[in-house]
Every structure is written in structure tokens, then in C-alpha cells.
Amino acid sequence: MLFNYEKLIDELSYFLLEKHPRVTLSSDIFEHAFLRFLGYHAVPEKCLFTDNPQCPNLFVYLRTPYQVSMSHFMDDLRACMTGAFSAIGIENIDPHSNQERFCIRLNVPYTLIEDSLLEIFQTINRILADPLKIDFYSYWDVQVKKFNGDLTMRCIESLTCGKLLRYPHVTIDDVWCAIIQKNSGKKSNITFLEKKVFVDVNRFPKIILIYKENEKINELSMTRTQIVRTLVDAETLDPIFMMNTSLQEFIIPVGINQFMKEKYHRFFSVNKEGQYEIDLGYHTKEKKILEKYGIKELSSYQLPITAERSRYYCYDNNNYQRALLALKEIKGEECVDERWHQLTYYINHHRWEKLNKEIKFLLNLKKETGVEIDYTHLLIRLYQHARDSLYGEQQENTFKVVEEVSQSLTCEMPLQNERQKEIYTILFELTLMRLSQLENSDAREGIVLKEKLFIFSQKAGLKESNLYLAEMAGLAFGSTFSANVCDNPLAVLIELAKRNKATHEENIRLNAEIARLSAMNSLQENTTPLQRGTTAYFTR
């Protein structure tokens, strides 16, 4: 029977099962051993061998070793394909034409493999004699089956970027710092500097992580296996990333990935530079609305193999988080918890101008962006939070923001009837607080504030409006009108008119009496003493 693909699989499977039961063919061990047998002394990132159905040859697909150029890789391989190995064909492949980004394909005669199989097995034995390497190749199979991944640097970079998608407040360097902390026992603040990835056959799969601690440069030697284990175990790094949310300006909406999948049919990704990418090529309307939110991309690009309208937009950390909230709101979904967190973040960090600007923007969302979401309840909640939970400068400055925004809201923005009453109630209570703090000597300001109290209480439908109107009308302290000015303003107006008429008539009577008395006094003053005596005599 001629040696063929099935025979090769049988031989390899039997050998590994007998000698190295923890390692399977999915681990690239055969391809790595074959290249080492040929004399190539680096390890490609990804390999795959398949049968060539057109001739008795084996196809071996290769991706370049990490950070090795395509031309360098090709030259080194060609240098190995001499003498007994000159029958091996080698050709370039467009890496964009296949999902695994293979760039080279070897065409190996089965006769060569059959003649060299024993030596290839011996090479596998030498490779797996290293405990780090056998751990690498055995865990590769676990990674494939459990996580549909592998131990390539591309997968490691994808896993680190995945942490950024879940915890946007961290950076890629933060992820590497967390890996170092978890595997070195370091608890103090450290700074990640760089990583050295070894691809030569002797040191592969080692990675040296270089970091600074207390101005001292240190190194931590790890393997790809250890790094991937750390990244895929949620309980390992997540506690480090679950920092106090009060230190974050934004929090990510729960279930945002599923929401984007259902509403936009899009996923997020993070590139090697730590920039967040969203394909919005099919969502030009939403993209224009994002611009109205003030959200700007760093750059955009289109892959040559994607659909014509597909375009990826790259955002920094801040704009990415803002975009997530905006994209949800564009579809009519409120982000109440997320927006409330944002407002309280500005309070806690004393960013009063930002608080003022953001709450105004949210309340004017329809006018600014066309998004029909009413966030008036956030302003009411902000006032209640300041009144009940804040003190000192924080309370005072929050009150100022609430008052300014409330006044602009009642003047410029249309409100529902119930919301109007709530906003005017806030203005009434804020004015009442100011009146209570007013110095007794400032009587003029007190009159102005009492006028505002009447206006706000009347528009809010508060019963106190009668008392302030009565005081303005000059009624005795504690007196009020028979009707409520909010419920029956006409009755109060008529009563005011009657009171005014009565007051006017009383004033006329009093003025007439004063005039009469004044005339009598004037007559007495103009009469001589003799006349006064004569008058008195005849009177008697």
C-alpha cells in the first residue's frame, strides 16, 4: 500500500497516543517537528497540513513566526529546501485569502515523508522532552476544544483586547500589568514596559515581560500557555479590573454586545493599538447622529475583502464608551443608570461646567440630535440627590446647576404638564432656601424672592401660592383668600378686585375725612382771637 494522507494520520495518531498521550495532531506538533527536521530553527505562528488531492503530495500551510517578515521567512525556508529536500515545493499565498492568514504553502512528496517519518518522530520526542513545550502542545488541544482558540500571539492579543471590551476603563498595558501581578505575586503599583516573544526552537514558547517597580526594571519569564490560562480564566484577572466604578466617567450598558448584535447586527473589536473598532458602514444615519453627539472617530478604513459599504470606524476609549450609550439611545433605549453614573461622577470630581453642559445636552437631546428620549427625570433626581445626600460645596454647586438648567428648561424647552409642575416645584424650593438664608437688611431682595415664590408655587400648583399672593396683596399675616389661586384663579381675581374696590372706597372716604379735618384746622388757624371769643360768647 502506498504511503498517503490516511496512512500518515494513522502513524502519527498511534505514535502520539503511545508516546505522548496528552498531545494531539491539532497542536501543530507535526508541522513544527517537520520544519525543525528540515533545518528551520524558528516556530511559525500557525500551521496546517492537508492532503493534495491532485497528486501524491502533502500540503503544509504556514503563517510567519511572530514579527518575522514574509520575505525573511521565505528566504530562510528556501535555504532549507536543498539537497534531499529540493523536491519540496514552496509558494506564496495571499494571507487575506484565508481565515488563518497563511502566507506560505509547502508541497511535500509523501515518499519524502515516508522515508523521514522515523526521524520526524525522534524530533517530536526531543521537542516534548522539555516540560514547558509539552505543556504548550497539550494545552493547545484544550484551548481549541474549550475556547475555540489557540496559543498564537494573535489569539493572545485578541484575549487581551477582549478585556478592554469588557472593561473599557483599562488599557492594554493595564492588562499586562494585571498578568504580571497575578503571576508574580506583586501587589504594589507596577508599570508594564514591553514583552519579548521568543520564536526560536530553543526558547519557544517563552515570553519575557519587562516591567518597572519602584524605579527598578524587572523581568518575568512566562510561557504562552501560562498567559492564555491567565486571560481565559475570568476569576483570575477580573477582580483586578473591577475597580471602584466611581473612578470611571462612564459605565458600559449591561448586555450591550447582545443589543448591538440584535439592533445593528454588528460586533465590536479592539485593534493592536488599543483602539475600538465598529463597522458602521451600513449605518450612515446613526453615524451622522454620533457626530451630533460630538463623538469623533480617530480614523476609518475599509477591508478589501469586505462588502462595499462596510467601513470600520476607530475610536479612542472615551469616544467608544460615549458611542455605546449613544447607539443605544438612537434606537430609543434609555441609558438611565449609565447617564446617572456620569452625572454623579462629575459631582464627585467637582467638574461643575461639565455637569452643567451634560445635563443641558441630555435634556435637549431631541433638538440637538433628533433622538426622542426625555431625561427630565434625571434633573429631578439630581436635585433630590443634592438635597438629601450632598453637603457643603458639592450641594451648593449642584443646586446652582439645577437652578440654572431648570430656568432654561422652563423658558426654552417644551415640557409635559406633570414635568413642568415638578420643575417649578424645584425652583420654588430652591428660592425658598435662598430666602431663608437672606439677611434681614436686604428687604428689596426679599420682595423679589417672594414674588418668585408666588410665581413658582402657582405654576407648580402648590397651596402655598395663596399665602405668598396674600402677602404681596398686603393682607394681614396668616390671612389668605377664600379660593385657591391654583384651582380657581378667577375667584381669587374677583376677590382681589373686590378687596381693591373696598380699599379704594375706603381710601376715598379717608381722603374726604382728611380733607374735611384739614379744612377745619385751616379755618381755625385763620380765625383771630377776638373772633374766636365772640363766637364763643354767642355760642354760650
DSSP 342: H
pLDDT value at 461 more than 90:
no
Give the model's confidence band at 538: pLDDT under 50 very low, under 70 low, under 90 confident, else very high.
very low
pLDDT, residue 39, reads 93
- C-alpha 376/C-alpha 40 separation (Å) is 68
Q: Is the pLDDT of residue 540 over 50?
A: no
Q: What are the tens digits of pLDDT across the range 314-359? A: 999 899 999 999 999 999 999 999 999 999 999 999 999 999 999 9
CA angle 114, 117, 119 (to 5 degrees): 140
pLDDT at 539 over 50: no
Cα 469 to Cα 471: distance, rounded to the nearest angstrom: 5
Helix 172-184 to helix 224-232 angle (10° resolution) is 100
pLDDT, the chain, mean:
85
CA–CA separation, 428 and 425 (whole Å): 5
Contact 250, 342 (CB under 8 A): yes
Please give the grid coordinates belonging to residue 362: 441630555
Q: How crowded is residue 349: how many other Cβ atoms within 10 Å of its Cβ?
A: 13
> Which is it for the CA torsion 137, 143, 149, 155, positive or negative?
negative
Radius of gyration, alpha carbons of the chain: 42
Give the whole-angstrom CA distance, residue 402 versus residue 359.
9
56 vs 208, which has greater pLDDT?
Answer: 208
pLDDT of residue 482: 62
Mean pLDDT of the region 75-97: 90
Rounded Cα gap, residues 441 and 455, in angstroms:
24
- At 17 the pLDDT is 93
**What pLDDT, on the 0 to 100 scale, is given for residue 445?**
80
Residue 332's pLDDT is: 92
Percent of the chain with pLDDT over 70: 88
Q: Could you give the CA distance from residue 514 to residue 508 in angstroms, rounded to a whole number? A: 10
527 has a pLDDT exceeding 60: yes
Measure the CA–CA gap between 378 and 343, rounded to whole angstroms: 9
Residue extents of the structural domains in the chain: 5-129, 147-242, 256-438
**155-169, 244-258, 453-467, 475-489: the lowest-pLDDT one:** 475-489
Q: What is the rounded CA–CA span in Å between residue 3 and residue 110?
A: 6
For residue 305, pLDDT over 70 is answered with: no
Q: What's the confidence (pLDDT) of residue 478?
A: 59
pLDDT at residue number 413: 57
The pLDDT value given to residue 8: 93
pLDDT band at 475 (very low <50, low <70, confident <90, very high): low
Q: Tell me what pLDDT residue 24 has.
A: 87
> What per-residue confidence (pLDDT) applies to 490?
65
Mean of pLDDT values over 67-90: 92
| Cβ neighbours, 10 Å, residue 497 | 10
Q: Is the pLDDT of residue 188 over 50?
A: yes
**112 residue type, one letter:** L
Percentage of the chain beyond pLDDT 90 is: 50
Which of 127, 128, 35, 163 is CA-nearest to residue 88? Answer: 35
Band of pLDDT at residue 472, cut at 50, 70 and 90: low
In the chain, the amino acid numbered 221 is S
Is the per-residue pLDDT at 231 higher than 80?
A: yes
* pLDDT tier for residue 531 given thresholds of 50, 70 and 90: low
**pTM of the full predicted structure?**
0.72
Q: In this model, does residue 377 exceed pLDDT 80?
A: yes
